[in-house]
Amino acid sequence: MAHDVFISRSSKDKVVADAICANLEAHGIRCWIAPRDITPGAAWGDAIVTAIGQSRCMVVVLSSGSNDSTEVPREVRLGIDKGLVVVPFRIEDVSPSGNLEYSLSTLHWLDALTPPLEQHLGQLVKTITPLLHAHQDAPSDPMDAGAASAPREPERPLTSRRPTRVVVFNDTSSLTHLLSGTIEVECDGRYLGSLRRHEYIETAVEEGEHRLSLRHRDAKFWESTHTVAIRGDAAYLKVFATTKADAVEIVSELPTFFQRKFRRAASGGDGS
């Protein structure tokens, strides 16, 4: 059966993973989860590899169990290599460690630490739905109704329609802004979060032009809106507050010292 989401979890987190699966499928999001979807008699490893290759998104149940697991890091690494959007769903107050830390260190995760679980499952649906929407293919038949007479954009490779991972990081320094340099970030009117100096958030957008709105919280609440063109598999947006305005710069890659200097924003948007 075709599916949208691969659910990766430790055997210790089966109850939560089943709840995630049931909730997503109740909202029309098709899931693949082991062992339910492994054909009897099929090789477990082959089934996992095939299922990940046929998915568009991966939900990782992040816990002490997944940190200790040997299979979850492999599944996450394969999902990233296959171009899946990976959404960590943290159910314990732990950070990814070992191989998981390497794979998930720059990703924004959803916290589900406080009850009720249903509230966080609802947030997961809101996060995944636009990601899957961005994955939708263009009509395969170029002669669909109206297609022959309407102007058509040049055909792009299928991979260009996948969501682009965008890391927004606040590179404000005490030299450019004497106060906190805190910036609130919106993308196309969607609030992503509040970034203090040397904090970052991560989101996913479809390739193309987007409106990035910045509003810094210090002094006179300066606000500015910038048009940014997102291309390729990943984009890194350096934002910073000056004493009179907010600025944004697209850089080709994250600074080499990124992991040592920048920290994930403690509270942000949904990361979707």
- Residues belonging to the chain: 272
Residue ranges of domains in the chain:
5-135, 163-264
Grade residue 221 by pLDDT with cuts at 50, 70 and 90: low
pLDDT at 142: 39
pLDDT at 178: 66
> Mean pLDDT throughout 224-231?
85
Mean pLDDT value of segment 117-133: 89
Domain 163-264 has CATH 1.20.120: no
Position 139 confidence tier, pLDDT thresholds 50, 70, 90: very low
Alpha helix locations (H) across the chain? 14-26, 44-53, 64-68, 71-81, 98-104, 117-135, 258-261
Helix, strand, coil content of the chain in percent (nearest 5)? 30, 30, 45
Q: What CA–CA distances, in Å, run from 254 to 44, 71, 77?
A: 37, 29, 20
187: which strand partners? 190, 212
- Predicted pLDDT of residue 20: 96
pTM passes above 0.95? no
Buried b (16+ CB within 10 A) or exposed e, 79-90: bbeeebbbbbbb
Residue type, 141: D
DSSP 56: S
Res 145 pLDDT > 70: no
Distance CA 247, CA 256 (A): 21
Instruction: Please give the CATH topology (third level) of the domain spanning 5-135.
Output: Rossmann fold (3.40.50)
**pLDDT greater than 50 at residue 45:** yes
pLDDT band per the 50, 70, 90 thresholds, residue 256: confident
Kindly state the tokens that stand for 141.
Answer: 């038949």
- Taking the C-alpha atoms of residue 171 and residue 240, their distance in angstroms, rounded to an integer, is 5
Query: What integer pLDDT is reported at residue 23 of this predicted model?
Result: 94
Please tell me which residue, 148 or 220, carries the higher pLDDT value.
220
